[in-house]
Amino acid sequence: MEEKKMTILIKNGRVINPATGTDETLDVLVENGVVARTEKSIKEKCDRVIDAKGCFVMPGFIDMHVHLRDPGFEQKETIETGARAAVHGGFTTILAMPNTKPVVDNPDVVNYVHNKAKTVGAANVLQVGAVTKGQQGKELSDIEGMVKAGIPAISEDGKSVMNAQLYREAMELAAKYNIAVLAHCEDINLVNGGVMNADVNARELGLGGITNSVEDIIIARDIMLSRDTGARLHLCHCSTKDSVSMVKHAKMEGIHVTAEVCPHHFTLTSDDIRKIEPTVDTEKKVAIEADADTNYKMNPPLRTKEDVQALKEGLRDDVMDVIATDHAPHTFEDKNTSMKSAPFGIVGLETAACLTYTELVLGGYLTPMQMAEKMSYNPAKIIGIDKGDIEPGKVADIVIFDPDETYVIDKNTFFSKGRNTPFDGRKVTGKVRMTLVNGQVVYEDKEK
């Protein structure tokens, strides 16, 4: 028997719901896990009344790009810590990428993740299936089996499938089963040992560079394959100015392509990478390897001002559909080395909403409605789930976001095991006050 769920009344919040175009002060009544009513003034005896005056009440954020590291790398993150970090960041549903150990290339691993996430009871977790067995790029994984186990998409994230014919076959299956293809675009041969953007900063540090072409060439290829197969292509973590123009052009041609941008790619450039002066261990008389703060190392890398400007305009003009985090936790030890040796990736679940609000909404690029579209409504549409909408009758996955609080990001407040962020100490505006999943409060800001 299922427990009777609390009835909750959220009063006086600014309800922002892209599905209906609603943007007004309303009360929201939550009963039995679903939105029962949204009206001007609801008078109803409830188990709990929440005062949301001055706050946005939005459909819970949906992160299309998260690395939970479980199974296999539980020292970096687990399904539990990741799902709790998610709701702390206002995310009620997250998509988990398959580059775990073992790789998620069969229904058993999908079931493992889904079952474990249910026992945690924080964010909803949807596992994404790998395109190829073991992400080896040689033969296709059990896509049909994983579709039956409930994957909403396939992805080879962490790399691209370099064999275009094999990728084409995967896209044909994705089209047949009507699931999305989430594409990490990187021509691995062209990377040639690069670890940051190919520019003056890389040259100054004496490090190999990653050109925009590394990404753009595969974006162009994948758009063509989507056109040829009819598969729904979603481009992960776009970082270049040409990604925006290619997506714009493809959409004009009627190709089924959507695209995501990560907060770090619209907030920082390679100029922001904090350099560390080389030091010498005087006792051992050896140079210490550190060259720059590895919390600025991620894939794709931080690009230039022109790229950042194009990404912001692409989001503003709705060429770019989604804001996703690419939450990629690593341990302190993993990252405590050099730009050359450290793994790529930074955490993002707990800083995405405030960075989006600060950089894009206060920065004049997005309306609060567009923020809700790109962080909730559009992701739900792209993966085909009945979420991202807080109309009566819909599941009550809701975030209450305070747009007035200004504070300093403190990585020690994260629920994630990962502390690898370049945003520690950054001043931002906008804070998640409360997160509801299935009509139950799963995160609450204790400071207020």
Ligand X SMILES: NC(=O)N[C@@H](CC(=O)O)C(=O)O
| Residues contributing to the annotated binding site for Zn(2+) | 65, 67, 157, 184, 237, 326
Q: Tally Cβ neighbours within 10 Å of residue 423.
A: 21
**Single-letter amino acid code for the residue at 223:** I
Closer Cβ to Zn ion, 157 or 389, answer by number: 157
Work out what residue 402 binds among ligand X, Zn ion, none; the CB cut-off runs from 5 to 8 Å by kind. none
Cβ of residue 269: shortest distance to Zn ion, in angstroms? 19
Strands 398-408 and 427-437: antiparallel
Cβ of residue 338: shortest distance to ligand X, in angstroms? 16
Binding residues for substrate, as ranges, are 67-69, 99, 299, 330, 344-345
Q: Residue 273, SS3?
A: coil
Which residues here bind ligand X, judged by CB under 6 A? 67, 99, 157-158, 184, 298-299, 326, 328, 344-345
Instruction: Please identify which residue in 157, 334, 373, 397 interacts with Zn ion, judged by CB under 5 A.
Output: 157
Cβ of residue 174: shortest distance to Zn ion, in angstroms? 17
326, 334, 389, 402: the catalytic one is 326
Q: Tally Cβ neighbours within 10 Å of residue 124.
A: 24
Q: Considering only 152-160, 161-169, 259-267, 436-444, which stretch makes contact with Zn ion by CB under 5 A?
A: 152-160
- Check residue 6 and report its DSSP letter: P
Residue 318 and residue 242: Cα distance in Å, rounded?
Answer: 15
State the maximum Cα–Cα separation within the chain, in Å, rounded to a whole number: 74
Residue 374 and residue 365: Cα distance in Å, rounded?
Answer: 12
The reply on whether position 326 binds Zn ion by CB under 5 A is yes
Q: Which two tokens stand for residue 342?
A: 């450290």
Closer Cβ to ligand X, 180 or 298, answer by number: 298
**Single-letter amino acid code for the residue at 192:** N
- Spatial CA neighbour of 223 closest among 318, 136, 215, 375: 215
Cβ of residue 436: shortest distance to ligand X, in angstroms? 29
Closer Cβ to Zn ion, 112 or 344, answer by number: 344
Work out what residue 344 binds among Zn ion, ligand X, none; the CB cut-off runs from 5 to 8 Å by kind. ligand X
Q: Residue 289, SS3?
A: coil
Does the annotation count 410 as an active-site position?
Answer: no
Query: Do residues 156 and 162 lie in contact, with contact meaning Cβ atoms separated by under 8 Å?
Result: no
Closer Cβ to ligand X, 11 or 303, answer by number: 303
What are the residues binding Zn ion (CB under 5 A)? 157, 184, 326
Catalytically annotated residues: 326
